[in-house]
Amino acid sequence: MMRKITVLISVVALLVCTTGCTAKEEAVLMDPSINVTTVKAYVGSQETEGNYIGVIENTDSVSVVPLVSGTVEEVNYEVGDTVSSGSVLCRFDATTAEQNLQNAKTGLKSAQASYASAQASYTNTIASTAQNIIIQHNYDDYNRSMNIHNQENSLCQADYSIENYENAVKDAKDNLEDAEDDYDKAKKSGDSEAISAAKSKKETAEDTLEKAEQNLKNAEFNYNGQAISLAQSKGQQEQLNGIVYAGQQVVAAAGMDVSKKSVDSAAVGIDSAKNSIEAAEYQLSLYTITAPISGVIERVDVDENNYFGSGQVSFVISNPNSRRAVFHVPDNVAAELEVGREVEIISNGKEYVGDISEIGVAVDDTGLFQIKAEIPDAPELADGIYIKLSTVIHKSENNIVIPSDAVYFEDNQAYVYVEENGMAVKKNVEFDIYGEEETTILNGLSDGDNIIATWSGSLKDGAPVKVTNRKDPNTKASLNIEALNAGSSEFND
């Protein structure tokens, strides 16, 4: 067997000597490894945008409708004028409303005078009876306060006793621990007298601990009982307010209820007068028509010195800076959207940025979900025009990202080749977003995997590969995708 090997080596050596460079090239061609470039898989995020057609509408356009009828005394704005919220648009003749307000104020003064008189009479009548009630109340309150004070002192003493007994229990436990140690030592010594003495000391310590613990329990029981008694005493003191109520019953029994009813009736009269004033002030305010929003006057239907009926539109105001884009999406997209997400709008070559403000909860007559996006500072976007818009409709976050060119498909199954120890390993993957340049992977890969980014007809699972863009095997390769696609020489070293 050794001779056959020797002959074979000699033949090979002869061929090398006779063929020169040609033999070297053939030796290289015989290497089965496939030259590949790799890219490190990394954890990242990717987004998918959706493009839609929407229509512009004004979000702030209101019609001003007076709630009163009458002669218009003044009109302060014309079509095209700019107004601020609260600006007075026009005024109606309010003579009758002003007189009604003055009458209501006069009625309030009369009601207040009646109440003052009834209150003075009631106060004078109950003064003597109330004085007796107060004296008794103060006397009882003093006695109960002293009782509570004594109980609080007793509770403090009981608390002090608990503290003393707790210390006694602690000392007894320490003594018992020492006695047990002495007893253990005596048993180890084998001295019967020492054992007997130590045992007696241990039993005495146990008895002392038992008594101390019982004393502590008794002290705690005594403390709890006094605490309950103190709480009951305090509760009884709070019930002293019932004495006042009882005194009121005495006053009523003496005929004071008649005077009290007069006071109550006068108080009702004041409340009624105040309500009348509020109603008159509100009615008067209706004769002054103000702008509910800031904006531009688009329509004026009132004229000075002419009669105008209630319930009719007098002014129309719109906010030119407030615009809204309305568009529709299918259910799977609506589920991905969220209020506040940015929307980009293009109209006549100009870009605008808005935010989604409302997402429909049910399909409308289009069979789709209606989405609304607010667009600030866009007065040039006219109501009703159609615009192009785009927004992110799906986000893939914290997933593995690899070049899309490295993903292949077979029987609807996505897979990639990963370089492991000089071999191509085929791995099935589940992707989330398959983009034009990059793809996010949900399952099948790990951060840092060496993804084979070049294709070869010989590439298959288990095929030997040689990474051409990895100069130092101890250094992680970093592949520039743009340079790879352009055929850069930096990866051919």
Specify the pLDDT at position 251: 54
pLDDT of 61 above 90: no
Q: Where in the chain is the domain with CATH 1.10.287?
A: 97-264
Rounded CA separation 357/371 (Å): 8
Q: Which of 74-78, 86-90, 91-95, 118-122 has the lowest mean pLDDT?
A: 118-122
Rounded CA separation 433/397 (Å): 10
Q: Where in the chain is the domain with CATH 2.40.30.170?
A: 50-61+320-394
Q: Where in the chain is the domain with CATH 2.40.420.20?
A: 31-47+398-491
From the list 357, 355, 366, 363, the residue with the least C-alpha distance to 332 is 363
Residue 136 pLDDT class (50, 70, 90 cuts):
low
pTM assigned to the model = 0.41
pLDDT of 184 above 70: yes
Q: Where in the chain is the domain with CATH 2.40.50.100?
A: 63-93+288-316
For the domain spanning 50-61+320-394, the CATH number is 2.40.30.170
Specify the pLDDT at position 11: 36
> Under CATH, to which class is 31-47+398-491 assigned?
mainly beta
Residue 253 pLDDT class (50, 70, 90 cuts):
low
Q: Dihedral (C-alpha) 137, 143, 148, 153: value to the nearest 10 degrees?
A: 150
Specify the pLDDT at position 131: 63
For the domain spanning 97-264, the CATH number is 1.10.287
pLDDT of 91 above 90: yes
Specify the pLDDT at position 311: 92
Residue 376 pLDDT class (50, 70, 90 cuts):
confident
pLDDT of 301 above 60: yes
Rounded CA separation 464/248 (Å): 105
Considering 22-36, 308-322, 405-419, the range whose residues carry the highest mean pLDDT is 405-419
pLDDT of 197 above 80: yes
For the domain spanning 63-93+288-316, the CATH number is 2.40.50.100
